[in-house]
Amino acid sequence: MTTNTAFLWLSAGITAFAGGLAMQGADFGEQAWLLSRASGLAAYALLSASVVLGLLLSTRTAKHVMPARVAGDLHTFLSVLSIVFLGLHGGALLFDGFFHYTLLSLVIPFVSPSNPFWTGLGVIGGWATAVVTASVRVRKQIGYANWRRLHYVSFLAWALSLVHGMTAGTDTALAPVQVLYIGSAALVTGLLMLRLLARPAAKAARAVPAGERGSISRAA
């Protein structure tokens, strides 16, 4: 996915949210709440898939499944699509007639009319996801090294989204949702540990002079 395409998808998410804001006050009964719950779970699933794929790319495991370029484009696509569903998740709450969400309560942490602390963590996670996803547009301007450091915020965004879903979500007790949360947490944690363990070995290999590497290889 090119950065222009990613920007278009991100714009679509913002437009969807703005459309919801414009229609605020319409009575959709429970449909708004159901849409918010469903889109929230979808956003988390997509974000988890993006983080998993990013870890597979960083550990070079993805090359055994698909070409690196395809994996990279899919990683960006999943990130942007998670923002679109995140916009639906928040925008649908503007239609909810029970809690009476406002724009400010959706974009400012810890002022939500429902579960303000846990929802606030979700708001921070949403902003973090948006910043990391949008950073692809300024990767050249800020430098690749700085962009990679900023990319670590994606782990914070994912963790906050998981905590938000488990604490503020009304579907946490459902078996499929528990499988989603536990399975994604186990997968991300396992891949992150693999990445951390592989890094010292990679540094040690780079520290060995090229001539010595060949000697070691022939000796093996």
Q: What is the pLDDT of residues 41-78, one digit of tens each?
A: 999 999 999 999 999 888 777 777 788 888 888 998 99
Q: Is residue 214 part of a domain?
A: no
pLDDT of residue 220: 39
pLDDT of residue 213: 47
Q: Is residue 216 part of a domain?
A: no
Q: Is residue 78 part of a domain?
A: yes
Please indicate whether residue 52 or residue 11 has the higher confidence score (pLDDT).
52
- Whether residue 204 is predicted with pLDDT greater than 60 in this model: the reply is no
Q: In one letter, which amino acid is 142?
A: I
Q: Is residue 219 part of a domain?
A: no
Count up the domains in the chain and report the number.
1
Q: Is residue 178 part of a domain?
A: yes
Q: What is the pLDDT of residues 105-160, one digit of tens each?
A: 999 999 999 999 999 999 999 999 999 999 988 888 999 899 989 999 999 999 99
Q: What is the pLDDT of residues 14-33, one digit of tens each?
A: 555 555 554 444 555 688 88
Q: Is residue 108 part of a domain?
A: yes
- For residue 137, give its domain range: 3-200
Q: Is residue 205 part of a domain?
A: no
